[in-house]
Amino acid sequence: MIEINMFSAVRIAILATSALLTCAANGADIKGAGSAKAEPLYAALAAAYAKSHPMTLTYQASNSRDGLKQINAKAVDFGASDVPLSAEERKVANMLCLPTAISGVVPVVNIAGVRKGQLKLTGDVLADIFARKIVSWNDPRVTALNAGIKLPDQAITVITRTESSGLTYDFTDYLSKVSKTWAAGFGRDLTIKWAAGVVPVKGHAALVSAFRSTPGAIAFADFHHAKENELNYVLLKNRDGKYVGPDASSFSSAVRNSAWNKSAAYEESLTDQAGASSWPITAGTFILMPQKARNPEQAIAMLKFFAWSFAAGEAAIVKTDFVKLPDNVQGRVFGELAGVTDNAGVPLRWSLADVL
């Protein structure tokens, strides 16, 4: 599912405040890399954890493929990806791939006179907009969904990501489920050969800049950054035929109706889940770490941090517009964390009680 390519990345040290994250004499220095979407999540968790535990977290925000590349290169203690590894990939790499929290991907529009959460779209119409089959905001298929809204005779400018991105994977995974035409013509992946005429940009900051400066634009972003930048999100028609907006409750509804909640099967995609209030493009974010610790002491420090995050980090998770994992998923994750061993196969000695 994820192949390893060379990607450049900007190193970002997560320092909520120097007082909170200054490493004490015996404090841990944990390094992570990968998903840009997950950066604010891990920053908030690290800041909260460091109030009572000496630790510095340095996180290199780039993309999901780079997270896998960095952990395989032994350059970091954990990789971060918005796309889970398959069972076969985990087995071959001898790697754990564990979810940390849940959020969503949000289509956003820049249409004068249209308020946030006012425009309604269905999955097939959204797919045809990104496929450049619908090219104007007053196209009959769009106006039919939005009675009472005067949509302009204005060209739609589609802005997309050029770099490998878990957001792109989740977005195109959803489009592939709701549009056979999209699935056949474009499919789902971390990178997509977009339709002719789209405006490709690299990185979240460039996307926001291009989006804001382009009347008639449509793009997609992760929920935290869409909310932080006050971008105008749309309502999407979900599998139950209801128009819903993105927020913690609609992400939670999607998870409740998924195999994550029913059987702790977090390998399943969370897009297009049942539920009257479910957001259609809900998605998790994941950490990657070796099943056999390369440095047991360092691994224990990391395991304690993530175990604390699951058990006591909900306030920090909510602060960054993510949703915590269902209890049974947390139970499975704790079990897998407890199964990390040294090179001889002996389980590492640590306890959640050590950090609570």
**Could you report the per-residue pLDDT of 90-104, keeping only the tens digit for each?**
999 999 999 999 999
Q: In the CATH scheme, what is the code of domain 12-103+284-354?
A: 3.40.190.10
Instruction: Annotate 23-56 with b (16+ C-beta within 10 A) or e (fewer).
Output: eeeeebebbbbbbbbbbbbbbbbbbbbbeebbbb
φ, ψ of residue 102 to 5 degrees: the values are: -130, 140
Q: What's the pLDDT at 204? A: 86
Q: Which of 230, 3, 15, 6 is nearest to 106 (CA)?
A: 230
Question: What band does 354 get if pLDDT is binned at 50, 70 and 90?
Answer: confident
pTM for this entry = 0.90
pLDDT for 27 equals 67
Residue type, 7: F
Q: For 168, which DSSP code? A: H
Dist CA 82 CA 286 (whole Å): 6
At residue 26, does pLDDT exceed 80? no
Q: What is the topology classification, in CATH, of domain 104-245?
A: D-Maltodextrin-Binding Protein; domain 2 (3.40.190)
Q: Which residue has the tokens 């139950």?
A: 240
Question: What whole-number percentage of the chain has pLDDT above 90?
Answer: 88
Question: Is 271:174 a contact under the CB 8 Å cutoff?
Answer: yes
Q: Which residue has the higher pLDDT, 312 or 23?
A: 312
Amino acid at 324: K
- Residue 12 is inside which H or E element, if any? strand 12-13
| pLDDT for 334 beyond 60 | yes
Residue located via tokens 């490493």: 23
Closest CA to 142 of 207, 216, 194: 216
> What's the average model confidence in pLDDT over 154-171?
95
Q: Which residues pair with 32 in a beta bridge?
A: 59, 78
pLDDT at res. 21: 31
| Rounded CA separation 151/264 (Å) | 43
Model confidence at 17: pLDDT above 90: no
Count of C-beta atoms within a 10 Å radius of residue 233: 23
Rounded mean pLDDT, 313-335 = 95
What is the C-alpha separation between 35 and 48, in angstroms, rounded?
20
DSSP reduced 3-state for 159? strand
pLDDT digits (tens, 9 = 90+) for 62-113: 999 999 999 999 999 999 999 999 989 999 999 999 999 999 999 999 999 9
| Strand 95-110 to 217-222 pairing | antiparallel
Fold agreement between 12-103+284-354 and 104-245: yes
The answer to whether the beta carbons of residues 116 and 233 sit under 8 Å apart is yes
Could you tell me the residue ranges of all domains in the chain?
12-103+284-354, 104-245
Per DSSP, the three-state class of 352 is helix
